[in-house]
Every structure is written in structure tokens, then in C-alpha cells.
Amino acid sequence: MRELPMYIEEEDEEEEENWETNLRYEVIEFILRRHSLLSARDIARVLGWKLVEVNRVLRDLENAGRVRRTKLGKTHVWTHIEEHQRNLMYY
């Protein structure tokens, strides 16, 4: 399991080779925080990325505990962990 960096601060100097990867993580996390439940196919369509790339990033984020996959019908949808925890309903 790969350790993902915390959110990038402007002052932090990032390694030249990792900034693209970190940006992919941040973009997908932002989209999930903003729009809640989305399928990998929807994310790929919005960003113009290949589905394989989006799935790879989503799996990395899931392993890091930042996003959660939920089965919805025949497909899976993804949500950001903060969003998922915020919408808990108590009876």
C-alpha cells in the first residue's frame, strides 16, 4: 500500500516527478467532495481521462482511507470519506 501525501500546501516543495500524480489525487477528491456519489465512468468522462487511470487513482485513494466505494445496483459509486461521515442519520 502506497502512502499518499496530505493535501499539498503551496509552500511545500514537491518532487518534480510526483506533482502530476498528487494533482490527480487532489482533483478526484475535490470532485467527490463537491458532487458526492459518482461512478468511475462519470469521473473519467468529466475529466477526459481513461477509465483505467481513474480506477487506479480511486483504488489508491480507497487504500489510503480517503474515499469509499459503495455498490449501487449493478455498478459501484464512489464518495469522499468526509462526505460519507457527514451525512449520517441518527434515529
Paired strand residues for 83: none
Give the CATH number of the domain where residue 74 resides: 1.10.10.10
Q: Is residue 1 part of a domain?
A: no
- Please compute, for residue 22, the number of CA atoms within 13 A of its CA located in the half-sphere on the CB side: 16
Q: What is residue 53's predicted lDDT score, i.e. its pLDDT? A: 94
Q: What is residue 89's predicted lDDT score, i.e. its pLDDT? A: 52
pLDDT tens digits, 57-87: 999 999 998 999 999 888 889 998 875 455 5
Q: Is residue 46 part of a domain?
A: yes
pLDDT tens digits, 12-71: 554 556 888 888 899 999 999 998 889 999 999 999 999 999 999 999 999 998 999 999
Number of structural domains the chain divides into: 1
Q: What is residue 18's predicted lDDT score, i.e. its pLDDT? A: 80
Give the DSSP per-residue string, 10-67.
TTSPPPTTTHHHHHHHHHHHHHHHHH--B-HHHHHHHHT--HHHHHHHHHHHHHTTSE
Q: Is residue 4 part of a domain?
A: no
Q: What is residue 39's predicted lDDT score, i.e. its pLDDT? A: 93
Which residue range forms the structural domain that includes residue 79?
A: 19-86
